[in-house]
Amino acid sequence: MKTSFILVFPILFISLFSVNLVLAQTCPSGSVCITNPVEANTFEELINAIIDFLWLFALAVVPAVIIIAGYFFVTSAGDPAKVSQAKKMVLYALIGLLIIGMSKGIVTLIQEVFK
C-alpha cells in the first residue's frame, strides 16, 4: 500500500502542477525583470487565485482519499478500528471539500460587507 502511494503521488503531483512554458518579457538591458507568477495585481485577485488553486488541488486529492478509504474498508476483514478509520477518512475528505467549496462564497460575502 505505501509503495504504491509513494509511486503514484509524485506522478499525480507532477501532472497537476506541471510548469507551463511562457515567453519571457522583454527586459531593458542591464536590469533584472521578475515576472508575477500568480498574475494577481490586487489582494482580492491573490485570494481568489489561492482559493482556485486549493479547489483544484482538493478536486484531485479527495477522490484519491476516498479510494484509499475504500481500500481500507475492503481490507479491514471486519476489524471495527479499520472500518472506523475508513469512514473517518471519507467523512474528513468530504468535509474538507465542502469547506474549500464554501470558501469562495465566504470571501465574496466578506468583500460585499466591507465595500
**Domain spans of the chain?**
40-115
Taking the CB of residue 86, how many other CB atoms lie within 10 A of it? Answer: 20
pTM: 0.61
Read off the pLDDT of residues 81-92 as tens digits, 9 standing for 90 and up: 999 999 999 999
CA distance 53 to 100: 10
CA distance 92 to 67: 13
> For residue 84, what pLDDT is reported?
94
Query: How many CA atoms does the CB half-sphere of 87 hold within 13 Å?
Result: 6
Mean pLDDT of the chain: 81
The angle subtended at Cα 65 by Cα 63 and Cα 70, nearest 5°, is 95
Q: Enter the C-alpha cell of residue 80.
A: 471495527
Read off the pLDDT of residues 31-60 as tens digits, 9 standing for 90 and up: 777 777 778 888 888 888 888 898 899 999
